[in-house]
Chain A
Amino acid sequence: MADSTVVLRPPLIDGHKTFAQVTSDVCRGMEGKPTPLWWASFLTAFAVLMVGAAAVGYLVTTGIGTWGANRTVGWAFDITNFVFWIGIGHAGTLISAVLYLLRQRWRTSVNRAAEAMTLFAVMCAGLFPVIHLGRPWMAYWIFPYPNTRGPLWVNFRSPLVWDAFAISTYFTISLVFWYVGLIPDLATVRDRAKEGLKKKLSGLFSLGWNGSTRTWSRYEVVYLLLAGLATPLVLSVHTIVSWDFATSVIPGWHTTIFPPYFVAGAIFSGLAMVLTLMLVARKTMRLEEYITIRHVEVMCKLIIATSGMVGLAYATEFVTALYSGNPYEQFAFLNRAFGPWGWAYGIMVSCNVVIPQLLWSKRIRTNIAIVFVISIFVNIGMWFERFVIIVTSLHRDYLPSSWADYRPTPIEIAILAGTFGLFFTCFLLFCRFLPVIAMAEVKGVLNEGREPAHGHGHAQAAGKRAGLPARSSAMEGARG
């Protein structure tokens, strides 16, 4: 066995898990009483969510005036948060779809959580396009529908309309993708659950899954197709979001580099967020053997890569501006870096470009604590990136007479916090009630069953116990 491990690649999952162990390890979190730690964090998150909800209520009843925006800076926290959360979402899709197509089998232990994160992030993001409206109750006007006004359609030239479509599509696909991935695990849950609501629900949602080979092969096909469908979204969604700015005439927004720049940024921030969550989850839910140092390292490498792209984008747009000979463009960027909001620009550069460079060193990459801190920094930096792009471009544009500053109000801050509350509330509920790790897929990457000696029979047994057939054959079939 030892030599076998030598000839084979190092395992993705430590601790020589058997299928049964995987099942029980993963389901442990869902069965039995929630830990005090869970309760504590859940209640905190929920409290914050409530604060945010109250703030939103006040906003809707009183008016956008409760924000710090003004005649010059029309967007600030609202759209910043929107872009930020959309960005967060991207890593999920990347990991689950793109890495799947790229046969990156290490993804299996993180994809489930990452996909969930995508959903919740898009939920948070989707909130802002609605509440930032002066008349949110008219939000549905942004969709084209037959009406008695002549008829009066929407302005298909407006990026905001594209946004509406992009985001709704993105949310739907992500949801379906996530759910389909869940089906086999839900079956497991169903089979393990005692009589009761849990059994009923998991039964309902596992769509009567029976681990037959045919089911498996169909499942694999659907999953593959969905992955193919989701992949372009990774690029399209944030591209479209970036057009909100790129198609405008405001110096600092009107930039052709934005689509790739935004996509890179999105993935960058998303990975950071995944990392943050993973590190928390693996500690609190004792999943060290599934989310191994190796996973952390791989993620860190991705972060370095995307951080590089982002850094390049920063440099490029600056050089372009200075080279452009357009005084307004030049001023916008000088003002961004050295103007009143220079400090924000500083945070953005240091958090997104400088700090991630530490991850070149293996010693840091493998130090969970430091990696965690860095991932937090990246999250902060990416939020500031969006803030810098939006506010510093607006607050000093063409006519010096209408230059203005911007100061957020407590309401805005509460709403920002509230979205984090929403995000973590959802995520904690997810940890509590659904398998955080895609058991079925993880089992597929175990060395178990690849060892001719005794693995197979064992696997069968384990499979039975786990209410799951060994799927290696099916997997191979799907992959071949």
Chain B
Amino acid sequence: MDEKETKRYWKSLDERKPDHAFPQDEFREEFGVPAMQLDRRGFLKAAGFTAAVAAIAGCSRAPVQKAIPYLIQPEELVAGKSYYYATTCAACSAGCGVLVKTRDGRPVKLEGNPQHPVSRGGLCAVGQASLLGLYDSQRLTGPLSGGKPASWEEADGAILSRLTEIRAKGGAVRFLSGTVTSPALRAQLGQFLGQFKDARHVMYDALSSSAILDAQEQTHGVRALPHYDFSKAEVLASFDADFLGAWIAPVEFAAGYRAGRAAEATPPRFSSHAQIESRMSLTGTKADRRMLVAPGEMGLALSHLAARIARLSGAVFDGAGMAASPVPEKVLEELAARLWSARGRSLVVSGSQEVAAQVLVNFINQQLGNYGATVDLEKPSSQKMGSDRALGALLGELKAGKVAALFLHGVNPVYELPHGAALAEALKRVPLLVNLSERVDETSGLAHFICPDRHFLESWNDAEATAGVVSLSQPAIHPLGNTRAALESLAAWSGKPQAAYEILRASWRERIFPRQKKAAAFDAFWDQSVHDGFAEVGARAEKSKPFRKEAVRAVINADVPASGMFALNLYPKVSMREGRHAHNPWLQELPDPVSKVAWDNYACVAPGAAARLGLSEGDVVRLEANASAVELPVLVQPGQQEGTIAVALGYGRQGTERFVQVGPKWLFGKKTGGADGRVGKNAAPLLRFSGGQLQYAGQEVRLTRLEQKSPLACTQSHHTLTMPKSLPIVGNERREIVRETTLSALLNSRKAAGEKGVAAPAAVLDLWPKDHPTPNHQWGMAIDLTACTGCSACVVACQAENNIPVVGKDEVLRHREMHWMRIDRYYSGEGEDEVSVVHQPMLCQQCANAPCETVCPVLATVHSDEGLNQQVYNRCIGTRYCANNCPYKTRRFNWFDYVREDHLANLALNPDVTVRSRGIMEKCTFCVQRIQEGKSEAKRQGAALVDGDVQTACQQSCPSQAIVFGDLNDAQSRVSKAMKNSRNYRVLGEFNFRPSIGYLVVARNRAEGGEDKGNG
């Protein structure tokens, strides 16, 4: 009855206690009894009275909303204003700079920091999504002792007392962590471990590159990861290194790669990129030339290349007894020639974990004089510092029970390493096991104490990802829960507890400040660094010794799997990496850029092999390698090497059972997650140690087919631009949705057209030329398909910015994913070997003649006088007519009320965007909230909006700056220029929908001058 009760529940935010106890309960109780034997008249009476009461209560007061201001106004903080703070992303060890957008004291969005020398404004999907990690309700809110909540005092007390014992006994103390790029933390660690006689800090990376470091040590005497500069590389050969996908520092590399491929620059700079790999990697999709080589043949291929380079450079290279090259001689010759012709401006990288292979890479780069040019060992990168040898040693110690105390930080070995079960047993025998993990996982579950570290958005920290660039992290929100920064924990355990802020300042005063010349006073330097989020200082010169030729040894033959067996390639997905972020629904729902499958990992099988074995998508197979087996559904992956099976790591994490709850619940809805409730299967057991390195590729695997199916949630059902063979339309087999050209063709056409570029296309006749005047602004976007790597950062950025719900596997299977921005992926090229791939970001095209607008009966989607195609949620009644009539199918319908029960996660919602309810249509708005914000700010300052003031979320996060957004009325804006580019075209332009988005043709640095190789 009482409106106040019910209405307050819905509307107002503060939970005030009800001021009087009248509400319906009283009625219900007393009603219940007599209601049983109500006769007709009684019932009618009841009905009558109830109606009357309802009517009266109905017109009593409407919801009361409270407004609670600050008591003490914080300085320079105005309610409802967004503030940006510079900090450093810690989602992986690449150390990209980010700007945190905070609103009323909580981070709501991460953006790349344009000034940051490492990431240069981009931010990858994982980085974008790490915002949601902050609001993860499964993060620990305080220390656990023996699995039970404890106070920090208790935990520290216990740990310290055990440590003193151990110190007395001189027991071995080990600190196992991932790569630690933070100088302050390293120092703190040194201090902590210094207390013990036998103490060691062991670093390993779940996605290890330690072969590279070891190889450097062998050839140059420095165990460091060289800093690769892709922007300077004119000829680029990558042996199974997915540097645009998930290898070391994809954002940094993508930015460099894009800088090296500027067809519009004068003179045109456009690197030539050869990818030699065994699976279809994201990097492979961008390559100009792609060669398929089994994982085991990588070393051999490198040796053949090395031999040729050596011949050209006149260096000695003993290639005696080399087996035939897996790569065609001709191709190899040509590659070698190209590399040689671009001495000092070329780059060879390899993702191999074979030290021998990496040594060959060093040899080649050395011969090409790339050291000091594209390969920098003077200012090395510390994005990967792990040593698999050290890890192996530690594992040995653990097995032997030699370790008295083991601290773990930022790693999950039980899950990430092979033989996890055995390791778990060994860990159980460690007398003191302390884990700084932020959650209870496979490893920390075994710990005696969990001392949760803070999320990077909650704490002070720093990172020197590449020598000379020290980035700062600053807290952007008051810590959620009673966690403690690793710095503080270590300080506490070293006997001198201190606040992270103090530790960090001290460390900077001591270590960083002296390394720079600019600022005289430390405080000024500090403030500047906090403001910028980083400081550029002198690198501690790692003097590398001259090249040791004797280290170089040819790999004379390939190890190919026995007949009937396959070679395994365990790779990190762009979204899931090593699985650290498996709890993040945004990443789980992000379709893989190549396979377009979400919510699963799977066994990628080459089409040929699939045909041979009669396998089709979704058939479950068992993969057996080094005494462990994994059962996975099959995905037929074009462009994969015949004898290879590729499986993504990072799935099957403990705790992903939570996603059973993720989708809408209804009668015929299926739950997300496999039989065990987890998302995907953990492929780590198939890893192996060999040559002291963690091997991801090459191990022999047996594939047996099981008689079951497991559907894959693939967002794309047709994978090429060619029409199905069964329905030939003579002359129109292929749709010109994505256009491709080659560099040579492009340059020729330019030359032909003269320097001023191709004349603008003839104006299309239009029935309503003045239909939609745009007096002030006309927003438009240009997407450079050459630059776009398909990395999908934009997709997650869009999801974060626009409060896009996560719908779960079943809904994706029903083609109801909600992403406003998707990246269409089309395969092309006949024959399995030269499959090439194009990525096309597809979002609402904001058509001037928008088909959706005419058909909406209630004017819920109409055109704005700024050229926007507006979608008005609160007017929409959900006929779905607009979506049917949208030629680009970019509209998304709210089929259900999507789950938003996690109140903590809801803190990540963008307060500037409506959360859409059930039954209405939504779509890309060109981030209209940002446009309005920009205009309001400009108006406030009485200034005109300048190009770049308004950036869409997708544009902002794009590591390769493929997206340009701006005002087409402003002839000088970047987007107007891009629209005049000769490569510019409109998708389905022939229908005169007049989309506001122009696409720039895919250009590849290929020999053949033909317009394109015809997708198909």
* A interface residues, Cβ below 8 angstroms from B: 58, 62-66, 68-72, 74-75, 132-135, 138-139, 141-142, 152-155, 157-161, 164, 244, 247-250, 327, 330-331, 334-335, 338-339, 394, 396-405, 409-411
Instruction: Pick out which of these stretches binds chain A: B90-98, B461-469, B876-884.
Output: B876-884
A-B pairs with beta carbons under 8 Å apart, 28 shown: A62-B896, A69-B880, A74-B881, A132-B880, A134-B877, A134-B920, A135-B918, A141-B875, A141-B877, A154-B859, A157-B855, A160-B855, A249-B991, A327-B731, A331-B723, A331-B732, A339-B727, A394-B884, A398-B737, A399-B842, A399-B887, A399-B987, A400-B723, A401-B716, A401-B737, A401-B822, A401-B842, A403-B718
Q: How far is the CA of A63 from the CA of B664 in the complex (A)?
A: 10
Give every chain A residue within 8 A of B854 (Cβ-Cβ): 155, 157-158, 247
Candidates B720, B875, B893, B991; contact of A71 at CB < 8 Å? B893
| B residues 806-858 in Cβ contact with A at 8 Å | 811, 814-817, 822, 824-826, 840, 842, 851, 854-858
Give chain B residues whose Cβ lies under 8 Å from the Cβ of A410.
667-668
Contacts of B27 in A (CB 8 A): none
Q: Which residues of B contact A161 (CB under 8 A)?
A: 857
Distance between Cα atoms of A161 and B816 in the complex (Å): 27
Which residues on A sit within 8 Å (CB–CB) of B880? 64, 69, 74-75, 132, 134
Q: Flag if A58 contacts B667 (CB, 8 Å).
A: yes
Assuming the contacts A160-B879, A399-B824, A399-B887, asked whether A71 and B727 have C-beta atoms less than 8 A apart, the reply is no
Chain B min CB distance to A73 (Å): 8
Q: Contact at A398–B717, with CB atoms within 8 Å?
A: no
Instruction: Indicate which residue in A158, A247, A249 contacts B857 across the interface (CB closer than 8 Å).
Output: A158
B735 interface contact, C-beta 8 A: yes
Q: In the complex, are the beta carbons of A133 and B878 less than 8 A apart?
A: yes
The answer to the question of B894 belonging to the interface, with a C-beta cut-off of 8 Å to chain A, is yes
* Contact assessment for A134 and B919 in the assembled complex, using a CB-CB cutoff below 8 Å: yes
The closest CB in chain A to the CB of B851 belongs to A249
Those of B696-731 within 8 Å (CB) of chain A: 716-721, 723-724, 726-727, 729, 731
Contact residues in B for A338 (Cβ distance below 8 Å): 726-727
* B717 adjacent to A142 (CB under 8 Å): no
B889 touches A158 (CB 8 A): no
Partner of A398, one of B817, B825, B895, B988: B988
Contact flag A411-B667 (CB < 8 Å), given A161-B857, A249-B885? yes
Given A74-B893, A142-B877, list of 8 further CB < 8 A pairs?
A: A62-B666, A62-B896, A63-B894, A74-B881, A141-B857, A158-B854, A158-B855, A160-B879
Knowing A248-B885, A327-B729, A334-B729 touch, does A71 contact B815 (C-beta < 8 A)?
yes
User: Whole-angstrom distance from the CB of B95 to the nearest CB of chain A?
Assistant: 35
Shortest Cβ gap from A115 to chain B (Å): 30
B888 at the interface (CB under 8 A from A): yes
Q: With A74-B884, A135-B878, A248-B884 given, is the CB distance from A155 to B666 under 8 Å?
A: no
Q: Is the beta-carbon distance between B878 and A71 smaller than 8 angstroms?
A: no
Q: Would A75 and B889 be within 8 Å (CB), given that A70-B816, A155-B857, A399-B824 are in contact? A: no
A400/B727 contact (C-beta < 8 A), A154-B858, A247-B855 known? no
Report yes or no: B885 in contact with A72, Cβ–Cβ below 8 A: no
Provide the bound-state CA to CA distance between A157 and B857, in Å: 8
Nearest CB in chain B to that of A328: its residue: B735
Per the bound structure, the CA–CA distance linking A161 and B857 in Å amounts to: 6
Known: A157-B854, A250-B884, A399-B842. A66 touches B668 (CB 8 A): yes
Q: How far is the CB of B792 from chain A (nearest CB, A)?
A: 14
CB contacts (< 8 Å) of B822 on chain A: these are: 401
Q: Write the nearest CB–CB distance from A291 to chain B, whole angstroms.
A: 41
B893 and A134 contact, CB distance less than 8 A: yes
Whole-angstrom CA separation of A241 from B883 in the bound complex: 18
B808 to chain A, nearest CB (A): 12
Chain A residues closer than 8 Å to B983, beta-carbon distance = none
Does B727 lie within 8 Å of A63, measured CB to CB? no
Closest partner residue, chain B, to A394 (CB atom): B884
B737's partner among A249, A250, A399 (CB-CB below 8 A) is A399
Do B991 and A133 touch (CB < 8 A)? no
CB of A118, distance to nearest CB on chain B (Å):
25
Min CB gap B638→A, angstroms: 15
| CB nearest to B877 among chain A residues | A138
- Answer whether residue B892 sits at the interface, using C-beta atoms and an 8 A cutoff: yes
Chain B residues within an 8 Å CB radius of A68: 814
Which residue from chain B places its CB closest to the CB of A402 in the assembled complex?
B889
Distance A303 CA – B814 CA, assembled complex (angstroms): 40
- Cβ 8 A contact of B919, one of A63, A164, A249: A63
State which residues 641-700 of B face A: CB under 8 Å: 664, 666-668
Output the residue of B826, B855, B896 with the most chain A CB within 10 A.
B855
Q: How far apart sit A171 and B952, CA to CA, in the bound complex (Å)?
A: 49
Which residues of chain A have C-beta atoms less than 8 A from B875's C-beta? Answer: 141, 152
